[in-house]
Amino acid sequence: MLTAEQIVAAQKANIETLFGLTQKAFEGVEKLVELNVQATKAALSESANSAQALLSVKDAQELLTLQASLMQPLAEKTVAYSRHLYDIASGTGAEFGKAAEAQAADAQKKFMAVVDNAAKNAPAGSETAVAVMKSAVSAANNAMESVQKAVKQATEMAETNFNTVTAQAVTATKAAAKKR
């Protein structure tokens, strides 16, 4: 069946995959930290500018105008921040998905090799059992492919919904700012 070299090679491949996924996870965290640092710097700068503008207000009408002018950029920046967060999360998730698909494909290939090897060495008269086993493996592979397709479709639908909600939020904010 399996030789020591095959087991060592499989363990080595698994460790390389683990380190690759760990690297991708750290890259995602690094992007998230960078985004938050940029957002914090921008928020501090804008807060200082807003405070200066508020201190220079002379009457209530000017205060309302200033308040309205500050709200639309804030909403747009919040949407942009959310979009960046979503992009980071979906990019990192896609990397993990690719790795999982590659591992599953490799495992399927190795399992089919074991089944084929067992079929070649099976005693006479066991052809029916071998055929049933191959059929079961094929059905499992088809089921896994269907699940992977469904996950991809759900992900695409979620991204479409996110984009729609984002666009509606920006439009609503602009409309509300114009009414003021």
In the numeric block, which tokens belong to residue 172?
């609503």
Phi, psi of 28 (to 5 degrees): -65, -45
Is it the case that residue 31 has pLDDT exceeding 80?
yes
Of 41, 22, 20, the closest CA to residue 30 belongs to 22
Average confidence (pLDDT) over 88-106: 84
Average confidence (pLDDT) over 130-149: 79
Distance in angstroms (rounded) separating the CA atoms of residues 64 and 106: 63
Could you give the percent of the chain with pLDDT greater than 90?
14
The residues, ordered by sequence, that sit 6+ positions from 8 with a Cβ below 8 Å of its Cβ are: none
pLDDT band at 34 (very low <50, low <70, confident <90, very high): very high
